[in-house]
Amino acid sequence: MKTNELIGTVVKTQRELYYVQTEDELITSKARGLFRKSDQSPLVGDKVLVTVSKEDKGGYITKILPRKNILKRPKVVNIDLAFLVFSIKHPNLNLYLLDKNLIINEYLKVETSIIFTKTDNSDIKEIENLKKMYEDIGYRVFLSSIFDDEGVKIIKREVKNRIVSFSGPSGVGKTSLISKILGKDLEIGEISNKTKRGKNTTRHTELFVTDNKGFILDTPGFSSINLDIDYDFKLDSLFREFKKYSGQCKYNDCLHLNEPDCKIKENIKNTIYQTRYDNYKMFLNEIKNNRRF
């Protein structure tokens, strides 16, 4: 490697400029013409090689290193961990939306954990039941409230030396949580009198650098998300608790709906939670309706 060639992470893009965070500095860079010829451009999260010009001190990205994954909304790459942030109250927890995000991340092969926020406003028994359910399924679950600095510290340790995305519905306290982790205030919209939710203020894709050498992606809040999964893909393989029964149904192509001797249906309320199975059926129907002939 050339002495003036550095490895860095693209933390923000703006038109034809790329902001690359190296070990020691943030370098404003441009991409070499070879990327335009190959129809590939650097994305936020890319690990790149950047050469610094001796004349103008500007950077030039010379190579994009191999990507481990790519998210579509927003379009970022190399996510090491995705936190799905959902409040239990205000707004109320939407298990359908949570499960949909979980299986999409399973499909994209992105490691995912769950953060339940506003736990100070929620019933302790409800919190314990939700935490147990998703831990039984195989996900790590973290709890957060505005009064729980210890919870923030635990979540911050997960960010160390990694690229971590935070996503969830509007108003769940995601940006407030990230502000605490970063130790600085990010812009938070005023509270809507009608919905009692904070208005979304995340308008562009950017990685925030933490003091423990991590990168945080704050994604725009959402109220719905498309289930962009191939029709021929086996949806049941994205449900972790279904996998233990793989190949045990009477029919190899069992959809776990009306078929006889279905191990999935036999274990509902045993090792498979009813809400998860109900959501599976709705997701399957959505994929069928989205099928392109």
All domains of the chain, ordered by start, with CATH? 5-64 (2.40.50.140), 70-218 (3.40.50.300), 235-289 (1.10.40.50)
290 pLDDT above the threshold of 90: no
Are 145 and 151 in contact by the 8 Å Cβ rule? The answer is yes
Per the annotation, binding residues for GTP are 117-120, 168-176
Q: Which of 83-97, 169-183, 201-215, 228-242 has the lowest mean pLDDT?
A: 201-215
Per the annotation, binding residues are 117-120, 168-176, 249, 254, 256, 262
Q: Which of 46-50, 203-207, 243-247, 249-253 has the lowest mean pLDDT?
A: 203-207
The DSSP secondary structure of 180-231, one letter per residue, reads HHHTSPPP-PPBPTTT--BPP---S-BEEEPTTS-EEEEPPPBS-------T
CA distances from 45 to 54, 83, 142, 262 (A): 26, 16, 24, 42
147 pLDDT above the threshold of 90: no
Encoded amino acid at 145, one letter: S
pLDDT of residue 2: 47
139 pLDDT above the threshold of 50: yes
Q: Which of 26-40, 141-155, 231-245 has the lowest mean pLDDT?
A: 26-40
- Compute the average pLDDT of residues 140-154: 89
Considering only residues 34 and 130, tell me which one the structure prediction assigns the higher pLDDT: 130
Sign for the CA dihedral angle at 22, 34, 206, 226 comes to: negative
Match 């562009």 to its residue by tokens. 204
- Return d(Cα 21, Cα 28) in angstroms, integer: 9
- Cβ count within 10 A of residue 23: 8
Among residues 260, 178, 160, the alpha carbon closest in space to that of 215 is found at: 160
36 pLDDT above the threshold of 90: no
The DSSP bridge pattern shows strands 112-117 and 163-167 to be: unpaired
- Compute the average pLDDT of residues 145-152: 85
Per the annotation, binding residues for Zn(2+) are 249, 254, 256, 262
Considering only residues 167 and 190, tell me which one the structure prediction assigns the higher pLDDT: 167
